Structure 1
């Protein structure tokens, strides 16, 4: 089977990836969830004209010059409307958020007045409408202020509450199950024996999925047998996972049994080799409604492939409007060699010059097993297939890695 281009592989993974079902959740549970419906205001904000400052509600015509003296006829506090009309030569003490009394059309701030008993003198002339928040200046009943498909930020929750929504309709979180394979893997905190390594991939994969809004299931590490691998696949299916991620066993060695086990369980594979570096031995298929992505075992390949393919899939199933990563342009911080038929994703440090220009400097070593260099990188430099050698200062496309 020929190597599949990256764009084709991503298209295959996203094919039919419609948003999952919706559910109603309380506002406190809606942070970073994706809206399943537009949200319209249930009320007008503010519902009436209100004072924006502490001061006095007056008729602007009565306070147009500094010789004015006005009689104070009462007080208006937030939540306690004034029951009288402001007449000629009158004023009412008012506090921020107080409803503007009938007859008044301006507020003179407290600092611009001098009070003597029930009379005030002004030190700055009033202007009609000044220091008043008109009814509906923020929004009006029926205004759609939150659109379906946005990922709710903290400010969005405050807005939804102000619009009088105690709950919101959001898409269900995708459930991502992670299964590692490999007799050589031992858990962190143990002492590896000869030829053993500490298992690390799953921690990054689950964190990456959770950061995108998914729920995760840790299926642990399966031994290098068909029986153990198929047991893990079945546990993922029985858990109701929307996505199964396998890590390791995706290449063509005699002990790489993931492809064999997936096919034995009825998974139809769309591809199992991609024209990219790192990450050529990657698989994708489906088992009923569950989508399967088989990642390479090398930790850098595993992470880069998950970032490029798993993240957009989670976003699509979550109902997000913005599914794809955003490419940016940077200047190379060092020379880059010519490329072969595989699309390269070079781990790179990203810096911004004083003029705003981004500089992307590939890290010293690009080996797919070197986690230290991955952790030091802030982005990926994309080198298309058969790209010629590029000199320092050349323009390149980059993807930012999560902070």
Structure 2
């Protein structure tokens, strides 16, 4: 068994990813939210693509008088392409294309209208109040760089500039496995000694949140089913980029996940990590016919696997999906409650970051065991406590990884 630090585990996983080449696909804007641009997105046309009015008003030629005859009224999306002589005006609405013969727009508030005649009541310099074609950008300009995570605002820009197919990195194909005969799914009869499969509802959504296209399968740890389950996992793993499993990687008699991975031809990268919680862990890689599948075997205990997932799986998912920055932001804050644990190895403590009088405060969860579950409902940060650090009193400074935004 090869035991490594969390830093070494990440280094080995990064090394296994060094030859990975992400696939690129073109998707509709409706499917692009949250994806990472694989190429720069450019403007298909000038923006705006025509001269337009910034408000409701009257388009005229450069005027020498104050009175005009209104010869037409147009709304947004309508073009007036007839001639407009001196002394004539076209009534138009906000955003309308300004007729070619006109070089000035008079706001409607600056005129008095009687029938088809208007009189300008304020002095307007010639050439005023027309938004020029290409004011914001010209055709071919880069509007969204490669490597950008597409927000609603970014998609609005891409569509507004004429893009109907968006180049993004293909979603990471993930096989997610839970393990153990003690696990039952919601709605199934639970016998004494069994628990509900909460990990299935923790990690499948998290994998999807971080860009994974997830296939789920449950593996029992029954020896009599091992061969059939090896065959099933082999079939499901065939085209996957990543396998994430929870459970079955410790030293128990029925911890069969390493056997399954060995049968699939995996090369182990490590067998255990010196951290708490989350030391039970397996890293490996399968290389078959030019295709590579990375493996992360996590503990079956919820808190332990939650920590390892964020420390190991999330950076991998972000990298596979094309994100440039794979790390969580770090914040230095103060402890809201004491942490009484000794730290013979690096420790990662779950809790909640809040702000009190403008200062960041980290409050650890009440239960800090590897099997703790309830605290996951409000955890938004992990505190890092270095090996050898003594128990920490309330108010002590501490460094945390912020997993999600503080409301």
Query: Cα offset for 1:343?
Result: 2.1
1:23 is matched with which residue: 8, 25, 33? 25
Instruction: Decide whether the 8 Å contact of 2:169 with 2:321 is kept in 1.
Output: yes
Q: Which residue of 1 aligns with 2:272?
A: 273
> Residues 296 and 100 of structure 1: is their aligned pair in 2 closer, same or farther, counting only changes over 3 Å?
same
Alpha carbons of structure 1 residues 5 and 125: separation in structure 2 relative to 1, 3 Å? farther
Q: 1:134 maps to which residue? A: 132
1:179–1:222 CA contact under 8 A, matched in 2:
no
Change in 2 beyond 3 A, CA 1:362/1:122: same
Structure 2 counterpart SS, 1:282: strand
Contact in 1 for aligned 2:266/2:284 (Cα 8 Å): yes
Partner of 1:308: 311
1:72 pairs with 2:67: no
Rounded Cα–Cα distance in structure 1 between residues aligned with 2:256 and 2:210: 29
Distance across 2 between alignment mates of 1:214 and 1:41? 29
Give 1:176's match in structure 2, choosing from 174, 177, 192. Answer: 174
Question: What's the secondary structure of 1:50's corresponding residue?
Answer: coil
Aligned match of 1:345: 348
Task: Work out the CA distance in 2 between the residues paired with 1:371 and 1:130.
Answer: 65
Aligned residues of 2:79 and 2:99 also touching (Cα < 8 A): no
Partner of residue 285, structure 1:
284
SS at match of 1:336: coil
CA separation of 1:41 and 1:395: change in aligned 2, threshold 3 A: same
What displacement does 1:329 show?
Answer: 2.6
Superposed displacement of residue 209, structure 1: 0.7
Q: Aligned residue for 1:397?
A: 399
Residues 200/106 of structure 1: CA separation in 2 closer, same or farther (3 Å cut): same
Could you tell which deviates more after superposition, 161-170 or 266-275? 161-170
* Residues 224-262 of structure 1: per-residue CA shift (max 9 Å, x gap): 324355234313323x22111121111122322222332
CA-CA distance at 1:196 after TM superposition = 1.9
Question: How many pairs align?
Answer: 396
Residue number in structure 1 paired with 2:56 = 54
In the TM superposition, what whole-angstrom CA distance separates every residue of 1:140-171 from its partner, at most 9, and x where no partner exists?
Answer: 10111112222222222222222222212222
Change in CA separation of 1:273 and 1:130 when aligned onto 2, cut-off 3 Å? farther
Q: CA 1:130 to 1:273, structure 2 compared with 1: closer, same or farther past 3 Å?
A: farther
Q: Provide the secondary structure at the position in 1 that maps to 2:273.
A: coil
106, 113, 116: which one aligns with 2:114: 116
CA separation of 1:277 and 1:53: change in aligned 2, threshold 3 A: same
Range with bigger deviation, 229-238 or 199-208: 229-238
Alignment of 1:79-90 (within 5 A): 79-85=78-84, 87=86, 89-90=87-88
Tell me what 2:236 maps to.
Answer: 236
Paired residue secondary structure (2:4): coil
Deviates more, 1:386-395 or 1:301-310: 386-395
Which blocks of at least 5 consecutive residues in structure 1 are unaligned? none
Note if contact 1:76-1:99 (Cα within 8 Å) is conserved in structure 2.
no
User: Is the CA contact (8 Å cut-off) linking 1:31 and 1:157 kept in structure 2?
Assistant: yes
**TM-score (norm. length: structure 1):** 0.90
Deviates more, 1:5-14 or 1:202-211: 5-14
Give the CA deviation at 1:51: 0.3
- Could you tell me which runs of 5 or more consecutive residues in structure 2 were left unpaired when the two chains were aligned: none
Query: Contact 1:184 / 1:197 at 8 angstroms: preserved in 2?
Result: yes
* Corresponding residue number in structure 2 for 1:299: 302
Distance 1:258 1:86, change over 3 A: same
- The answer to whether the Cα contact below 8 Å between 2:59 and 2:91 also exists between their aligned partners in 1 is yes
